[in-house]
Amino acid sequence: MDLKEVSQQFERFKAAFVKNDFDTCANLLSQLKVLLTKFRSLPPLFENTPNAVNELLLAREIYEHAVVLSVKIEDQDAFERDFFQLKPYYTDVGSRLPPSKQEYLILGLNLLRLLVQNRIAEFHTELELLSATALENPCIKHAVELEQSFMEGAYNRVLTARQTAPHETYVYFMDLLAKTVRDEIAGCSEKAYDYLSINDARQMLLFSSDQELLEYVKEEHPEWEVKNGSVIFQKAKESTPCKEIPSLQLINQTLSYARELERIV
Amino acid sequence: MPAAAATMVSSAGGLLAMLNESHPQLKYHALSNLISFVDQFWPEISTSVPIIESLYEDEEFGQQQRQLAALLVSKVFYYLGELNDSLSYALGAGPLFDVSEDSDYVHTLLSKAIDEYVSLRSKAAESSDEAAKVDSMLEAIVERMLDKCIMDEKYQQAMGIAIECRRLDKLEEAITRSDNVHGTLAYCINASHSFVYRREYRQDVLRLLVKVYGKLPSPDYLSICQCLMFLYEPEGVANILEKLLRSENKEDALYAFQIAFDLVENEHQAFLLNVRDCLSAPKSLPSESVQPGSSSPAHAQNENSTAPEDVQMTNGSSAIHEADPKEVMYAERLTKIKGILSGEASIQLTLQFLFSCNKSDLLILKTIKQSLEMRNSVCHSATIYANAIMHAGTTVDTFLRDNLDWLSRATNWAKFSATAGLGVIHRGHLQQGRSLMAPYLPQGGAGGGSPYSEGGALYALGLIHANHGEGIKQFLRDSLSGTNVEVIQHGACLGLGLAALGTADEDIYDDIKSVLYTDSAVAGEAAGIGMGLLMVGTATEKASEMLAYAHETQHEKIIRGLALGIALTVYGREEEADTLIEQMTRDQDPILRYGGMYALALAYRGTANNKAIRQLLHFAVSDVSDDVRRTAVLALGFVLYSEPEQTPRIVSLLSESYNPHVRYGAALAVGISCAGTGLSKAISLLEPLTSDVVDFVRQGALIAMAMVMVQINEACDSRVGTFRRQLEKIILDKHEDTMSKMGAILAAGILDAGGRNVTIRLLSKTKHDKVTAVVGLAVFSQFWYWYPLIYFVSLSFSTTAFMGLNYDLKVPKFELLSHAKPSLFEYPKPTTAPTTTSAVKLPTAVLSTSAKAKARAKKEAEQKANAEKSTGPESSSAAANTGKGKSSSEKDGEAMQVDNPPEKKSEPEPSFEMLTNPARVVPAQEKFIKFLEDSRYVPVKSAPSGFVLLGDLCPNEPEVLSLTDSPTSASSPAGGSAAGQQSSSSAMAVDDEPQPPQAFEYTS
């Protein structure tokens, strides 16, 4: 009967979801999650209640929706939260449940998120956990290819990949990815050049207008200086001279060793 | 379904994510689930600790949720090994932290909590301001723990924690609620001695214990009095003794005597004298109105001296005076107990025992004497020292008498030592000490004798009366003031210090001080030591005066004497001495720093205090002066003597030092702290040092080895035999260095000390330190600079005997069982083949047969004893008549042997042995001693050695006494005393009061 109550609630959530009424969705979702804590068959307890499979299925679907919802409302934190709560349904009880259609889509989204947040190590950890068949899936493949381009520095390919996104939800992350790419370029140019002309900088950072560039500099890199038609990167901090040899300290240390040696019994 | 059963969570990620949910119920759900999985997923959770911490600090979160968060964080920190953080969060978890849970987490945190609490409490107690506030949560946890221990009847744990936490209220609760109050109290006393490092606090604990004892229906007065002694409360002891003495019951009186003997064993002269003076005098006769309330000690004493006579009179004619029989009885008992408290009773009994059971092997000395080069005076006097030590307290000076010519080669200071040696031999011969030494003492102004022998004689008097100098003090003072010769002053200062040990007598102090201010090196050194001896353990102001003079004088000898003297004054004062120690150890003068080491050693004697050990180890490796380093290592021996097993481990590295002084110190440290234990590890450590490349290290190691092995025989540890042979080899070796040769000779002396009936013991049976013994060893270790101080080692000798005493303080016939093979603890065999025969084994043979006989019929035993009594003198006189010296006793032994060998050889060694009162019971043997159930006498306390009062179950039957007090007039001539003594001891029944030996003269 609990199960029934939850499914009814979920139906209402789905209705709101379809209507793109995200506020209602968020409210309902929160209630749903609280209701789910009552089920003892769900992670982390995994008790064998009679309705276990149904409950698990329901919970999985709720969390899948929650993940998608978070993308729609463009909330990365919520995405991460919900994804981690969803994950045990794929990994721990995956064998007991019929596979979900959404699974690869969501896993792909997660990979993309990690890429956007520039968490490459975690990206690869996740990748290692996937089976060979999963890697064949277009959603996953897409993310993997993106990562390769990203690593190679083929940023233009990353940007054009937006058009080939396997699912509408991917678009959000693709937009974010463009920014990540830009940050990456900015970081490199900072290291590579002392200064760049505004024109070069605009091309380099893939902006279409000088205005956008100036705004970007103002927001993201206030330490950069724009003057005389060029962007000057602050390199003063790196130019600290080679450190002095701590001679006094070394002498003291050596002397104290000598003294200790004397004392050795 | 079966597959589902195996479903397990693979990650805590989901739950951790849930923590970030906005709904509080979800957070709670996540927390409670995380708690149950923390054991498995703590590595994952640890990355999210900040989130959980912030939940704990979130005011809006419910109380229980917050505590849950705290518990979770605490567990994660526990797994991360951050116990401090873990504990503070566990405290935040409040009731959720379950003390009774049986998990590693809870156990670890509890011990951590208790440690924390203990350190906070002791810090609070030490800084004495209340600023250091203890967290109430912490206190609550510890209290919960204590209550739980008491509920579970784990009283020992509860007491241990309570003592550590300085929670005397809980301690009292634990003791009173335990089922066996006496047992727990005894445990508690032990614990407070071995584990409570701060003296003041220990006294608090003991005071509490006395209070608890007092409340019991049947108090254990023995323990109470021990506690009171630690607290230095003579009035309390006196009250108890008086109560017991006034009791109708004879048992109670015996009990009082027993208490007195136990107190005497701790050698706290000043305290004993105080107790004695606090005992109120008997209200002699009701008809004669004695001033009531004569409480002033002086007055009381005056009356006491007259009391006994009164009693005897009234005893004879009680009808006339109508004396209150109770008071009569009390007066009689009072004289006895005063005799005990003054130490006379025990000293006299010991003397008799040592004399009658003397088993020293003259042949060893003879070998040493013959093997030495004529002109080597160091070895010559070493032999004299060895002889004195071997015969310490036995009054047997045959060797000296037989070798007067040889002896006369001692000149100057050697003569001083030779004369002083007599004091060691006659140690405790209180009544006749003075007349014994008379020929050598300064003859009022006549100035006939050599100053060296006169000075030596005064020193000897001090040794005879060590720690019991009531009678001789005045004479020594007069001698001191009557001379200007520095050698005599030297002897007199040492003698006075010894006789008035620890009495803090101002007049004597001033006398000695005036000698010090003459600024004579020789006399000044002794004066410094003498002042220290006088003021032992008083922590007197005078120390600063002494220190000031030490800075002023130019003589190194005086500075050294004073440094040691200052160290002696802080004996046993622990933290109280810290300022003085600091002052001395920071001094520019290495000699004073060296005194500082002794101050550390003596102030923290036997406490195994970590701070002291750390300090000593620091000096041992960092000081620039070899003397200071050596002493620092040596001092470790004193600090650790209560835990001898520890010492070899602590000094093992130091014993391999490149610096020979440190090696020497390590050897002596082991020797001091493991003295008389025969500890295997100690022997292993010393063994390589006895063949060190440096001569003085060999010397130290040999002496230390002898100290460790004293009274251990070859059957116990085969290395003893090896060591004896090694000594012999060193002594016989012509090319051996003088230093190590001297060490070997002294070692031979110490190994057979006191006629093989004494051991070196620094702790009494009640685990109290023996002041005299510790002081004796401390001054003994000075022999590095001044050989005559070797004699101080005799102060540390304690007789290993069981002496059962009856109500009259006489030694009745009484038997006890030693449940071990006799060979394990018997005397070592005499050196050469002919003498090995029966002299040693004979007593056991007689004992075992007679024991069986006695078990069968008491009357038979009495007859037999009578027979022995009658034969004893005969045989002794017969032996005496046959001739003098060794040969006669050998023959004697062979003759006696004839009776026994056949039966002895045929039977296998028995697994037990019957000992007859008074019996030699070596320390290792104590655990095998059992009392017989159907014996006539019942011991008041079941101690395996020492003085034990015996209750008589058949008081009307005549008693058979073992050691008779009355000196017999028919004495053997002094020349044959060795022979006479041997035969009488084999009879084991009768012996004579040792006779004052005739004076011998030096023919220098």
Q: What is the CATH number of the domain that holds A51?
A: 1.25.40.990
A35 touching B (Cβ < 8 Å) = no
Same domain, A208 and A157: no
Q: How many helical (H) and strand (E) elements, i.e. helices and strands, does chain B have?
A: 52, 11
Helix (H) or strand (E) holding A232: strand A230-232
pLDDT at B874: 42
Reply yes or no on whether the pLDDT at B880 is more than 50: no
Q: How far apart are CA B940 and CA B954, in angstroms?
A: 15
Reply yes or no on whether the pLDDT at B893 is more than 50: no
Task: Mark yes or no for CB contact A93/B7 under 8 Å.
Answer: yes
pLDDT at B345: 85
Higher pLDDT, B131 or A151: A151
Residue A245 belongs to some domain of the structure: no
Average pLDDT for residues A167-192, to the nearest whole number? 83
pLDDT at B965: 45
pLDDT at B602: 93
Reply yes or no on whether the pLDDT at B878 is more than 50: no
Q: In what order do the strands lie in the sheet with B946-952?
A: B919-920, B801-805, B946-952, B937-939
Higher pLDDT, B187 or B524: B524
Same domain, A183 and A221: no
Range with the poorest average pLDDT among B6-15, B411-420, B725-734, B963-972: B963-972
Residue A144 belongs to some domain of the structure: yes
A115, A144 Cβ separation under 8 angstroms: no
Classified as helix, coil or strand, B799 is: strand
How far apart are the CA of A223 and the nearest CA of chain B, in angstroms?
Answer: 31
How far apart are the CA of A196 and the nearest CA of chain B, in angstroms?
Answer: 41
pLDDT at B969: 32
Write the pLDDT tens digit of every residue in B940-983: 877 777 888 888 888 777 777 776 543 333 333 333 333 333 33
* Distance in Å from the first CA to the final CA of chain B: 111
Task: Mark yes or no for CB contact A37/B21 under 8 Å.
Answer: no
Same domain, A97 and A135: yes
B621 touching A (Cβ < 8 Å) = yes
Residue A246 belongs to some domain of the structure: no
Classified as helix, coil or strand, B717 is: coil
Sign of CA dihedral B171, B174, B180, B184: negative
Average pLDDT for residues A216-234, to the nearest whole number? 81
CA nearest A259 in B: which residue? B622
How far apart are the CA of A141 and the nearest CA of chain B, in angstroms?
Answer: 25
* pLDDT band (50, 70, 90) for residue B663: very high
pLDDT at B666: 94
B562, B528 Cβ separation under 8 angstroms: yes
Same domain, A59 and A168: yes
pLDDT at B631: 94
Domain that holds residue A46: 3-192
Task: Mark yes or no for CB contact B3/A96 under 8 Å.
Answer: yes
- CA atoms lying within 13 Å on the CB side of residue B890: 13
Residue A78 belongs to some domain of the structure: yes
pLDDT at A259: 85
Reply yes or no on whether the pLDDT at B177 is more than 50: yes
Residue A253 belongs to some domain of the structure: no
Same domain, A142 and A56: yes
A33, A7 Cβ separation under 8 angstroms: no
Same domain, A141 and A198: no
Same domain, A107 and A49: yes
pLDDT at B963: 63
Kindly list the distances between the CA atom of residue B718 and the CA atoms of B183, B677, B678, B693, B715, in Å, as whole numbers in the listed order.
Answer: 38, 15, 11, 25, 6
The domain total for chain A is: 2
- The token pair at B636 is 């470790």
Reply yes or no on whether the pLDDT at A31 is more than 60: yes
Q: How far apart are CA A21 and CA A25, in angstroms?
A: 6
Other C-beta atoms closer than 10 Å to the C-beta of B100 total: 10
B18, B26 Cβ separation under 8 angstroms: yes
* Side chain identity at residue B483, one-letter code: T
pLDDT at B323: 59
Range with the poorest average pLDDT among A136-140, B862-866, B964-968: B964-968
Residues of B in contact with A80 (CB under 8 A): 17
Residue A250 belongs to some domain of the structure: no
Identify the top-confidence range among A199-203, B292-296, B951-955.
A199-203
* pLDDT band (50, 70, 90) for residue B133: low
Average pLDDT for residues B405-409, to the nearest whole number? 85
Write the pLDDT tens digit of every residue in B625-657: 999 999 999 999 999 998 889 899 999 989 999
pLDDT at A251: 93
* pLDDT band (50, 70, 90) for residue A228: confident
The beta-carbon neighbor of B21 closest among A33, A45, A86 is: A33
B666 touching A (Cβ < 8 Å) = no
Same domain, A165 and A211: no
> What ranges in B181-268 are assigned the alpha helix state H?
181-195, 199-215, 221-231, 234-246, 250-265
pLDDT at A239: 57
Helix (H) or strand (E) holding B350: helix B344-356
> Concatenated DSSP letters for A107-124?
HHHHHHHHHHTT-HHHHH
Residues of A in contact with B17 (CB under 8 A): 80-85
3-state secondary structure B551-589: HHCCCHHHHHHHHHHHHHHCCCCHHHHHHHHHHHHCCCC
Last residue of some domain: A137, A166, A192?
A192
* pLDDT band (50, 70, 90) for residue B775: very high
* pLDDT band (50, 70, 90) for residue A265: low
Task: Mark yes or no for CB contact B654/A265 under 8 Å.
Answer: yes
pLDDT at B370: 86
Average pLDDT for residues B209-225, to the nearest whole number? 79
Higher pLDDT, B618 or A229: B618
Q: Are strands B758-760 and B797-799 parallel, antiparallel or unpaired?
A: antiparallel
Task: Mark yes or no for CB contact B25/A34 under 8 Å.
Answer: yes
Classified as helix, coil or strand, B798 is: strand
Question: Cα A30 to the chain's mean position, in Å?
Answer: 23
Q: What is the mean pLDDT of chain B?
A: 79
Q: How far apart are CA A6 and CA A12, in angstroms?
A: 10
DSSP, res B796: G
Residue A220 belongs to some domain of the structure: yes
Reply yes or no on whether the pLDDT at B181 is more than 50: yes
A263 touching B (Cβ < 8 Å) = yes
Sign of CA dihedral B762, B767, B770, B775: positive
**In chain A, residues 70-89 whose CB comes closer than 8 Å to chain B:** 77, 80-88
pLDDT at B635: 94
Same domain, A182 and A231: no
Last residue of some domain: A136, A157, A192?
A192
Reply yes or no on whether the pLDDT at A197 is more than 60: yes
Write the pLDDT tens digit of every residue in B723-743: 999 998 998 888 888 888 999
Residue A93 belongs to some domain of the structure: yes
Same domain, A63 and A174: yes
Task: Mark yes or no for CB contact B13/A87 under 8 Å.
Answer: yes
Same domain, A187 and A209: no
Reply yes or no on whether the pLDDT at A1 is more than 70: no
Residues of B in contact with A93 (CB under 8 A): 4, 7
The pTM of this model reads 0.68
- The token pair at B811 is 């030694």
Nearest 5°: phi and psi at B278? -80, -20
Same domain, A135 and A21: yes
Task: Mark yes or no for CB contact A46/B4 under 8 Å.
Answer: yes
Reply yes or no on whether the pLDDT at B95 is more than 50: yes
Helix (H) or strand (E) holding B269: helix B269-278
Q: How far apart are CA B226 and CA B941, in angstroms?
A: 14
Give percent above pLDDT 70 in chain B.
81
B650 touching A (Cβ < 8 Å) = no
Task: Mark yes or no for CB contact A30/B33 under 8 Å.
Answer: no
* pLDDT band (50, 70, 90) for residue B525: very high
pLDDT at B616: 93
